[in-house]
Structure 1
């Protein structure tokens, strides 16, 4: 039986939020390894540090939710402040994770990079709707934004958004730390001094390959995967499972996201349309040609076999004659 998220502020909503935090904390005892084809900066950490980081993000997120409720922020205020709330969550979780970190708030959010652009294009999907679900209920979500009616929002849907925020914020924290290091040597030194490294990334070569892979992945994500997801009305989410971190896709309305794309990114729409138009025709043509070729080949092979049999029989007959 499907259970639905509470629609309004109520005791039931508070209970569901408490259960959400509790159940997510329980999941942190599971395997947190990433076995997908998509890398994360947080993969650099060993299991204990990854669990510690996720736990710190949960603590700071809980504080933020309590503050929003205490201040009685309206939906409009949450939407206006959602990007700042995200930045605060990243920064405060980082300071909790590594207290001796001396970077200031401005140091981190003056970052300009491909990966940061990806997040800025999707921050409303990452945190805005989740904050509304947790503090005001599903009735305040824009109708028809998701594929189901807001009055029947599955509890599992809110869990998906919650776990995705947890994983992506944790990943952003490690990214922010590494992006402020001015050399590979300083990155490796920081990792070693803080005992963060996963054994898979122990050598300088493995860390270099890891960071270069993430850079290429970010470029592909920004200029190809993200525009395609917007065109397909999909959003990639990260989830916690008993077998490790997994990727899923949910359907959302992304019409407003089109205005955030550059002209180069919009070109992907054109290529997708060309693909949708031409590929089926090419496949149909190849299928017909293949059938014709197969028919000719089978006919030729059949006639050849018959000819060989007749030739053999004729030879046998002539020998006996």
Structure 2
């Protein structure tokens, strides 16, 4: 039986939010390794550190919810503060994670990495990443746009809200690791940071590994920003990260992304145009190749086959004539 998220703010919503946060935190005790082919900056730290970082982000999100309730913001004001809320959540999670570490560097901050692809992707997807989640947690499902997801907002499954929360935790945590690595820059300092603070297995730490790891993620971020994300927007899809019993996995959900489409750059729209051309031409090409294949098969079976039979008969006839002449 499907259980639905509360429609309005009140005792029932507060109780569901508390249960949601508790159940989510329990998942941190499971394996948190990445089980997909998509790389994460989180992959560079061990399971215990991921658990610590997820717990920090969850705590900052709890404090954010309490602040929003105390400020008594309405939906309009919440939308006006959308990206500021996102950046504040990332920065506070970053500061709390760095607090108490042996490797000190006060220069590490979000402001120096805000224009990088990893943060740009989060900024573009803010409404699906955090804004909708905050509305569910503070105002209830009735305040979420009824056209955003594939179901009536009044009948929002609890599992859907849980999915959005887990995705936010993974993506914010990943952004925190990205900012640290991006700010440190020096390969030797990154290795020092990870080993000194015992954030990763030192057996796998080397300058070559770190260089390969960072370059792979940079390539993936560029590919995602210019290719994968526009394709997902065009297909009304949103990629979410889930914390399963086996580790971190990916799932695609339907989401109306018209507002994202309108904000795409000319380069991304050009890629979408090429996708439309592909969708138009490929079926026609498939039909042509299928027809050509059938004609080729007909040729081999009938024309070539008949020719082979004729040649065999001619050879047999030739042998008969030869033996008779003897």
Aligned to 1:133: 136
Aligned-pair distance for 1:23? 1.4
Alignment of 1:259-298 (within 5 A): 259-298=262-301
The TM-score with structure 2 as length reference comes to 0.91
- In structure 2, C-alpha distance between the alignment counterparts of 1:300 and 1:198, rounded to whole Å: 68
The TM-score with structure 1 as length reference comes to 0.93
- In structure 2, C-alpha distance between the alignment counterparts of 1:261 and 1:215, rounded to whole Å: 21
The 10-residue stretch of structure 1 (164-173 or 22-31) with the greater mean CA deviation from structure 2: 22-31
**Are the structure 2 counterparts of residues 120 and 200 from structure 1 closer, same or farther at C-alpha, using a change threshold of 3 Å?**
farther
The 10-residue stretch of structure 1 (55-64 or 167-176) with the greater mean CA deviation from structure 2: 55-64
Residues 220-246 of structure 1 show CA distances to partners (whole Å, capped at 9, x for unaligned) of 111111111111111111111112111
**Are the structure 2 counterparts of residues 85 and 305 from structure 1 closer, same or farther at C-alpha, using a change threshold of 3 Å?**
same
SS at match of 1:180: helix
Aligned-pair distance for 1:209? 0.7
Aligned to 2:157: 154
Q: 1:243 aligns with which of 238, 242, 246?
A: 246
CA contact under 8 A between 2:240 and 2:253: conserved in structure 1? yes
Cα RMSD between the aligned structures?
Answer: 2.0
State whether structure 2 residue 76 is matched by structure 1 residue 76: yes
Q: Which runs of 4+ in 1 moved over 6 A?
A: none
Alignment of 1:51-130 (within 5 A): 51-100=51-100, 101-103=104-106, 107-111=109-113, 112-130=115-133
Aligned to 2:44: 44
- In structure 1, C-alpha distance between the alignment counterparts of 2:294 and 2:53, rounded to whole Å: 58
Give unpaired runs (5+ residues) of structure 2.
none
Aligned to 2:6: 6
Equivalenced residues, count = 320
Aligned-pair distance for 1:191? 1.4
CA contact under 8 A between 2:112 and 2:183: conserved in structure 1? no
- In structure 1, C-alpha distance between the alignment counterparts of 2:279 and 2:177, rounded to whole Å: 39
Give unpaired runs (5+ residues) of structure 1.
none
